[in-house]
Chains A and B, each alone.
Chain A
Amino acid sequence: MKESCVTTKLLPQTGLSASARRIRGMVRRHWYLIRSSGPRTAELIFWPLVSMLMWGFLQTHLAKTTSLAAQAAGLFVGGVLLWDILVRSQLGFSVAFLEEIWSRNLGHLMMSPLRPIELIASLMLVSLMKLTVAMVPVAILAYIFFGFNLLGLGIAFAAFFANLIIMSWALGLVSTGAVLRWGLGAESIAWLIVFILLPISCVYYPVSTLPEWLQPLALALPPTYVFEGLRGLVLQQTFHGDYMLRALLLNIVYVSGALILFRALLESARRNGALVQLGE
């Protein structure tokens, strides 16, 4: 074979270190993006802060007027903080992908050696990064204003957090796959998909509040177990490990299904030319 005339040295393109390098590159891109815009960072914090303050003050008011609410100090603030972990993480994932389309950069990425699984891994890390930027200040303010210490939940918090994050990634994969396949016409899925879960996953009330026919659906959603778990912890000082295990098993099913769906939608986009139209 003729010798290559290429002089720029390229690192190995396969293996874990190559994947890690490309994922680092993508995370770095989004870190630069967050860092470059104060309003963008403020926007990340804005809605979780507003929700937390509203539910916190409502809870303070109810605690003065009803004995049940007085016993359940932290239930609303805890609920809204955990709910925002789910929402912010899903939006962090989906919006990071939408940024590539809005900036018409997706064509460059799809043409680069970045693998789809690396793109997904980078979106997951970016969602964690955005979540940290959004939720750390809000969690600190929840402690200052209402005395609710999220980290004080200890090991339970770790279990709640993990289950919510995995579910948010599953939702992010579905919405991202839909945008890949159907273009920006499907963008609203990215913004709305998580809110379908708000009434059904029982963030602020127990599952028994739902009509009987809706309860099986609620129990098929991992976040329901997280919020039931929070109520158990706050009201009965009991950590339900079995709830977390069930949530984890459901999450494995959801995230596996979402990965299969994402791959199928990506291949479909390659067949119908959608990737080219997205990039342009």
Chain B
Amino acid sequence: MLQSGARTDGAGTVLPVQVRDLRKVYGEVVAVDNVSFSLSAGSITALLGGNGAGKTTTISMLMGLVVPTSGDVRVFGVDMVRNRHAALHRLNFESPYVEIPMRLTVRQNLEIFGQLYGVADVAGRVREIADELRIGELLDRLYGKLSAGQKTRVSLAKSLLNEPELLLLDEPTASLDPDTADWVRSVIADYCRKRSATIVLASHNMAEVERLADRVIMLERGRILADETPAELIRRFGRETLEEVFLDIARRRAPDTFELLNGRE
């Protein structure tokens, strides 16, 4: 459902995400301060920042779980404050901090989420996603009995059940071994490429961001400090890795660059 205020890209397609002058205040704490950005289809954007930078609040407002104090959030042209249910079937998310019910089997969980999202052939889709994410042998096991890596694969399967056009990932490889983490990154990159899906990624793993993201939005104290490609950001800070850039920002070690970045706002 396209609503007034929705913007389109050059080809006339409604942008998957449009955020304008977004602000969220809790009491006297400004969690998000005047944030604006748009995301195009088929992009992977990383939201970066230290603890309390405003990543979770921004993502929560994208999902419509938190109402902004002021500003506008549109997902596929839908106002997420007033009409979020018109868009939710086109989204999904994965986070290690939100669990899937432990005492149900993986199959039961996936079938129930399939029903909630309105997947037409739930059993067929569960088989298909189980095959893609190599969780076939886990389907009839209780979710609560799985290892951390297996749980992540199942959570990812849940998040891809409806083949979302917008996928929100909160630390998708947290607590995974390097091999599994690498495999998960490949799945995410493949999904984005094959489906032209828009992905928003919140991560503290800078190597992951460098590998996956084609754009980085760096937040600090609720404000956008930088919004560019990982390569541009590294170059601007005169560093070799994104992790070094992150540390410069977190420890305020690059005053010249700060002035430059702040001057851009």
Contacts and interface: CB of A to CB of B under 8 A. Distances in A.
**4 closest cross-chain pairs (CB), A and B:** A25-B115, A107-B98, A104-B99, A9-B120
A55 to B, nearest CB: 34
A66 to B, nearest CB: 49
B89 A113 contact: yes
Contacts of B12: 1-2
28 contacts: A1-B13, A2-B41, A5-B195, A7-B163, A8-B125, A8-B161, A8-B162, A10-B119, A11-B119, A22-B115, A22-B118, A25-B116, A28-B112, A32-B104, A32-B108, A36-B103, A99-B101, A103-B99, A111-B88, A111-B93, A113-B117, A270-B67, A271-B66, A273-B24, A275-B65, A276-B60, A280-B97, A280-B98
Given A13-B89, A275-B65, A104 B113 contact: no
Contacts of B161: 8
B9 to A, nearest CB: 9
Interface in B1-59: 11-14, 24, 26, 31, 41, 56-57
A99 B13 CA distance: 41
A105 B143 CA distance: 12
A139 B112 CA distance: 33
A24 interface: yes
Interface residues of B, number: 53
A22 B97 contact: no
A25 B60 contact: no
B163 A114 contact: no
A270 B118 contact: no
Interface in B89-107: 89, 91-93, 95, 97-104
B265 interface: no
Contacts of B119: 8-11
Contacts of B158: 108
Contacts of A61: none
A188 B177 CA distance: 40
A90 B81 CA distance: 31
Interface of B: 11-14, 24, 26, 31, 41, 56-57, 60, 63-67, 85-86, 88-89, 91-93, 95, 97-104, 108, 111-113, 115-121, 125, 158, 161-163, 165, 194-197
B118 A12 contact: yes
B119 to A, nearest CB: 6
Contact of B92 (A37, A109, A111): A111
Given A22-B118, A28-B111, A276-B57, 13 more contacts: A1-B12, A5-B194, A8-B161, A10-B118, A13-B85, A18-B118, A21-B115, A25-B112, A103-B102, A108-B100, A110-B63, A112-B113, A271-B67
B113 A108 contact: yes
B103 A37 contact: yes
Contacts of B125: 8
A54 interface: no
A273 B26 contact: yes
